[in-house]
Structure 1
């Protein structure tokens, strides 16, 4: 395809992607007077498109590409009958396993739950605290919690985080309380507080990137009960689009080009970026030029783009002469659990509490963010003193979406206890029971996914997207230690459910990653041989390239990543601002 020379674009700052890693850059630089261009592969949707359509979310995956057009190849480890392990890839168009998280302006931040826990000081120095871990590539961060803390506070003010600080054993240092009061809470929150107190736990309120009162031209939460995976029709959720990009565009200095798929970043003879090649909404090849370029496509796609952007100076991909692009990909360790509250065993008042829809549970446990337990049975090679390990976070929630709740009701057991598919009257009764006999309280466990040599992104030259470009091949190897920590935390959560009086308590911890929690692939660090980016998230090898999505993280911590991605992007924006002013 020949390049169209008409309507090619030029700016001071060109940003590829528009989510949590991109939007703070656009916001900060546009408000500083720089001309900012944002190239986003997906459409530009607003609150009016984010109505609560369960079929669009649960069945049609409406805000992501069709897997027949854009897919990934996922490599998992298998074992032969004689115990020999091997890796085998499968196209997501065959498996149906989508690895997209929101291809729209604002990216996946439109569809997050908005659990905004900060990282803690210990997360920045895992190697120092616990030493090397066999089979893992653990590294300290090149910055400290103290350096990032002002930007956490900035996110709380500008994006809008609602919460309240309570004293607990692992409370991180803070410069200020939350700027917005907590969102409305479910009656079940008080149940959890009491049960936790009974057994010596410390239940804490969950900070949410959701406005509890109108502010900054956005409405407050309207408590529809449809939050996770849904776009916010009130604008209360702090997506990059609603909280930052709208204001960046209003400055007059930011241009967003939706439906623009970047496929190659070109470099000149000095190894600096000379332009970005993309397809516009009509499929025409265009070029965008700038002084400074920021890549923030989410971890897998950022690595894919850099690997695909080969040049004379970078035969292995842009900024990849050390072979580190795509390496040390991260997800979140942990799993899920649940317990049922049987209506006919409860008082009418408690049943009414359980049936309350809209307000959030907003309770978490972080008592074991660092595990100090001599009985802890995890592998102890090089993980500090016996019984000590990095732990994690437990969050509690209800599934309000009826389609999500109905999934699973089609399965039952035969007389021998084997799983069987239900039909007809049996299926009807199973679904009736789900919606009328009990309510399920669930929990999610978040713990570190240790970076390792079998978790990385490469290019799959045999599988291409609808434009003919190689797709990302993602190997998803995990470290056994992640499962042991996750299981330890799940047992603690099950104990709380038992104290609450729940029945049918169970949990599941596995190495299968949650695809909405991804980071790494372009880790930052001080050593150019073992990292892609410096402490400012500027490529060691390419002075006018920055990467500001979750790719920069060398370790992920034990909380969802979005808050930290926002905070770091605001931090990096300050450095880019000084560089832009120098160029100017």
Structure 2
């Protein structure tokens, strides 16, 4: 074991939406910051995904096995690199709706209220949109929450085919909207180019890649983290710091706390409440494919969303969720997890190869909020990381799919020259797709029912913070990325006050 000869003011573990953003926020303070990232610095290689390699290789999976509720191993779709999962995200950066912060009755149960509300996050949403160069338009979305400032950049134009579909949806009385997209000079903005790269030349910032953090070590009383143990290559190191921040993703942050159990924290660090790892949420995600008679590039951006069913409709008084086009299927990593879709397309279009299937179809992502449940959790069984997850709120999601397919059929009837097939293959994302994971270290005011306080510091360990999506008490039907970024900026302000 080698003890690093440097002492750091802040150690940040993970460089995704939370950790990368926090590093950018803290770097100007001049404080000594260490970034530990399990993956490598790959720059833009995986942010510009093209062609069928997405479907052929599991290069966007973690190099380890997790285990499902029955103990069967699987390869999780989570990415280890500088920038984390933002290297393979869609770049859609949405605000939670104001009502998403309140208690909401769903068909499947209650979504709990947050102790902080939309107005507490609003200034940081605005800061996040500027930082990640969000292009958007909110006047056309009746569910969009209030903004103190307009989006910093104008909305991205739809692909012509998508524009035509949007026009047909509007004729049905629906409200297709422009999705807010983070876009920079080189494509989608991510936590590597926005958070990490700008601070790498700072004398006070040190980045260590291929650094797998294996344990956190506390002082004898268990009140502070004194050292972070990491393995770099075949060598183990101890890094010492005053403040330690976890930003490993909801699964891996919880796993690190659990496996760091010691005499003062026998159930895992900061787990006196027995809430670490519990309440795992990852949204109900389905893809519905619409077949076209005309070709498209298969490479365009996601631009069109629809929230008419977000809070329900006249026939179903419960929230259903959000719809957005997938963008070009050849660019969409998560389509690699949907082999039933590819099989169905092959049967419907038997003379087409994969590229032709993708360029004669439009994918639609449907997202419904899943609800926190104590038995949906991350835990260890021996030395095996186990993900116990049973989907809930399923009826609301199924109704969203039915509503959307009905809307697509109306589009097809109004534009028969564009569509010559009325079948709509559907695939639901399996447990290995852990996109939009959250909730395993929820924040709150009561240490008996939460892991973190409202500043995202653990109740029990005074120098330990969590800034990934672990802190969410509830999910929503929009993507969590912008909320993670906004929260990292918010926690950054608290840390700056403390460090000064």
Same fold by TM-score greater than 0.5: yes
Deviation, structure 1 residue 438 = 7.7
Larger mean Cα displacement after TM superposition, 104-113 or 53-62? 53-62
Other-structure match for 1:26: 23
Correspondence 1:54-453 to 2 at 5 A = 54=51, 57-66=54-63, 70-75=64-69, 88-92=70-74, 98-126=75-103, 129-130=104-105, 138-211=111-184, 219=185, 234=186, 236-270=187-221, 271-280=223-232, 282-341=233-292, 343=293, 351=294, 354-356=295-297, 358-373=299-314, 375-376=315-316, 388-401=317-330, 411=343, 429-432=350-353, 435=356, 439-453=360-374
CA distance in 1, matches of 2:220, 2:430: 43
Q: Contact (CA 8 Å) 1:158, 1:243: kept in 2 or not?
A: yes
Deviation, structure 1 residue 440 = 1.6
Q: What SS does the corresponding residue of 1:500 show, helix, strand or coil?
A: helix
CA distance in 2, matches of 1:428, 1:195: 25
Deviation, structure 1 residue 431 = 2.6
Other-structure match for 2:389: 476
Other-structure match for 2:496: 577
Q: Contact (CA 8 Å) 1:452, 1:478: kept in 2 or not?
A: no
What is the aligned length? 488
Q: Contact (CA 8 Å) 1:523, 1:532: kept in 2 or not?
A: yes
Larger radius of gyration: 1
Q: Contact (CA 8 Å) 1:335, 1:446: kept in 2 or not?
A: yes
Unaligned runs of 5+ in 1: 76-87, 93-97, 212-218, 220-233, 344-350, 377-387, 414-421, 462-469
When the two structures are superposed, what TM-score results if normalisation uses the length of structure 1?
Answer: 0.78
Deviation, structure 1 residue 552 = 0.4
1:390-428 residue CA offsets vs partner (Å, 9 max, x unmatched): 332111234442996996698579xxxxxxxx9xxx999
CA distance in 1, matches of 2:435, 2:357: 31
Deviation, structure 1 residue 257 = 0.4
Q: What SS does the corresponding residue of 2:170 show, helix, strand or coil?
A: helix
1:140-166 residue CA offsets vs partner (Å, 9 max, x unmatched): 111100010111111111111112222
Distance of aligned partners of 1:412 and 1:356 in 2 relative to their CA distance in 1, 3 Å threshold? closer
CA distance in 2, matches of 1:100, 1:71: 11
Distance of aligned partners of 1:473 and 1:359 in 2 relative to their CA distance in 1, 3 Å threshold? closer
Q: Contact (CA 8 Å) 2:229, 2:239: kept in 1 or not?
A: yes
CA distance in 2, matches of 1:355, 1:511: 25
Q: Contact (CA 8 Å) 1:295, 1:302: kept in 2 or not?
A: yes
Q: Contact (CA 8 Å) 2:324, 2:364: kept in 1 or not?
A: yes
Deviation, structure 1 residue 561 = 1.2
Q: What SS does the corresponding residue of 2:183 show, helix, strand or coil?
A: coil
1:532-574 residue CA offsets vs partner (Å, 9 max, x unmatched): 0011111011110100101000111111111111111111111
CA distance in 1, matches of 2:14, 2:391: 28
- Aligned pair 1:529/2:448, yes or no? yes
Deviation, structure 1 residue 170 = 1.1
Q: Contact (CA 8 Å) 1:16, 1:262: kept in 2 or not?
A: yes
CA distance in 2, matches of 1:115, 1:534: 28
CA distance in 2, matches of 1:308, 1:63: 25
Deviation, structure 1 residue 46 = 1.5
Q: What SS does the corresponding residue of 2:439 show, helix, strand or coil?
A: strand
Q: Contact (CA 8 Å) 1:186, 1:356: kept in 2 or not?
A: no
CA distance in 2, matches of 1:159, 1:238: 6
Unaligned runs of 5+ in 2: 413-418
When the two structures are superposed, what TM-score results if normalisation uses the length of structure 2?
Answer: 0.90
CA distance in 1, matches of 2:217, 2:205: 23
Q: Contact (CA 8 Å) 2:136, 2:155: kept in 1 or not?
A: yes
Q: What SS does the corresponding residue of 2:141 show, helix, strand or coil?
A: coil
Q: What SS does the corresponding residue of 2:312 show, helix, strand or coil?
A: strand
Q: What SS does the corresponding residue of 2:68 show, helix, strand or coil?
A: strand
Other-structure match for 2:437: 518
Q: CA RMSD in A?
A: 2.8
CA distance in 1, matches of 2:468, 2:218: 21
Larger mean Cα displacement after TM superposition, 27-36 or 292-301? 27-36
Deviation, structure 1 residue 33 = 1.8
CA distance in 2, matches of 1:449, 1:477: 10
CA distance in 1, matches of 2:169, 2:7: 57
CA distance in 2, matches of 1:254, 1:163: 33
- Aligned pair 1:489/2:430, yes or no? no
CA distance in 2, matches of 1:412, 1:337: 11
Deviation, structure 1 residue 201 = 0.3
